[in-house]
Amino acid sequence: MPEQAAGMSHRPAPVHTHPDDVPLLTALSALADPVRIQLIRDLARHPDWALSCSGFDVPVGRAAKSHHFSVLRDAGLVEQRDQGPKRLNRLRREEFDARFPGLLDLVLRADDGE
């Protein structure tokens, strides 16, 4: 039974930026990284809130992964929700597409042959 007393120490909720408040340069910079592209594609292949941060198979350590998710949050690409010890993720498809039409589609399209 979760106590909600005064001096209780919470885990700080993740700070989000709405896509509408994201500068174009921030969005492009966030997407100009192979690891983050892979994270976004993995995310798109699963239902919302299905994946926790550790559920992604990228060739970097936990620290770097955490950093990448921070960048994705700042770019309005990912929303996170805490559930137990895990931090579940959701791709902000509609919202991001409304701000930058077509951009997310480009990344998700697999025609990135070269």
Instruction: Write out the residues near DNA by the rule CB under 7 A.
Output: 2, 9-12, 14, 29, 33, 35, 52-55, 59-71, 80, 82, 84-87
Mind giving me the DSSP string for the chain?
A: -----TTPPPPPPPP---GGG--HHHHHHHHS-HHHHHHHHHHHTS-TT-EEGGG---SS-HHHHHHHHHHHHHTT-EEEEEETTEEEEEE-HHHHHHHSTTHHHHHH-S----
Residue 103 as a binder of a second copy (CB under 8 A): the answer is: yes
Q: Which does 37 bind (CB under 5 to 8 A by kind): DNA, a second copy, none?
A: a second copy
Residue 28 as a binder of a second copy (CB under 8 A): the answer is: yes
Report in angstroms how near the CB of residue 21 gets to a second copy at its nearest: 6
Please say which residue, 66 or 105, places its beta carbon nearer to a second copy. Answer: 105
Footprint on this chain of a second copy (rule: CB under 8 A): 21-25, 28-29, 31-32, 34, 37, 100-103, 105-107, 112, 114
